[in-house]
Amino acid sequence: MTVTFPTSSQKCNIRYQTSQIAADEPFDTAHALKIANNANHLADSYAQVRVGWEHSGSYFSGIPGKDTNNGYQLVAPPQGPFPLSIRPDGKSYKIRVQAKASTWATGDVTNWRLLVACTPAQAVRDKDDASRYVTFQTSTTTPAWSSAQLIQLSSGQLESTTWSDPDSLGVQFVMAHLYVYALTTNSSVETRLYGLYAAEYIGTS
């Protein structure tokens, strides 16, 4: 399994007191290193976009229904594959996910799940595993982005793949997909998915 480290030397953002960045304050090597660390941390946290799209006027639709025997149903094609960076302790770095969605009619409630899995088999087997997904609800016909939430996979939830180059050097990496499931309270209405976003979050919180 490949271990990918963040590019920030301290692996976090270093906060300053207001007095430390006031005019005419001394600027030394330590100060410069902290600024470089913070710039790298911001790049680590926000640059690694794995899924990012938004439709204007069109959407993925489905009718998951309210039949609890069927449960949550897949709304859109799996998004990916994309690489997961792995921490030294074996867990994945967190993935920050959001979706833009709505319901078909005002008053109908749709419960959504955004789930990260390495294989289709995992996505089907573990779609009710709360450690793999985050949830949100829609109850209006106006498309809106959900609040950003974080997903992190444990070492036991990761599956690596080995790729061999022409020189027969084996490289292991972890690939994943983002899956969108939904369940409505009205079996006659459709779900509407207008956009998806997923990016690595290297932050400590």
Residue 134 in any domain: the answer is yes
Give the pLDDT confidence of 172-201 residue by residue, as tens digits: 678 899 999 998 887 777 889 999 999 888
Q: Which of 90-104, 120-134, 137-151, 162-176 has the lowest mean pLDDT?
A: 162-176
Residue 174, classified by CB atoms within 10 Å of its CB into exposed (0-12), middle (13-18) or buried (19+), is buried
Whether residue 137 contacts residue 111, with contact meaning beta carbons closer than 8 Å, is answered with yes
Residue with tokens 């207001």: 18
Burial of 77 per CB tally in 10 Å (0-12, 13-18, 19+): exposed
**What pLDDT does 108 receive?**
84
CATH classification of the domain holding 64:
2.60.120
List, for residues 21-33, the tens digit of each pLDDT value. Answer: 666 667 778 878 8
Residue 127 lies in a domain: yes
Decide if 32 is inside a domain. no
Range of the domain at 180: 49-201
Bridge partners (DSSP) listed for residue 95: 151, 200
Say which residue, 31 or 63, is predicted with more confidence. Answer: 31
Give the CA distances from residue 66 to residues 63, 104, 130, 137, 189, in Å, rounded to whole numbers and listed in that order.
9, 14, 19, 14, 10
Domain annotation covers residue 77: yes
Most confidently modeled of 39-43, 124-128, 164-168? 124-128
Report if residue 29 sits inside a domain: no
Alpha helices, DSSP H only, in 47-179? Answer: 120-125
In a domain, 41, yes or no: no
Number of domains in the chain: 1
100-131 pLDDT, tens digit per residue, is: 999 888 778 889 999 999 999 998 888 889 99
Answering whether pTM is above 0.75, one says no
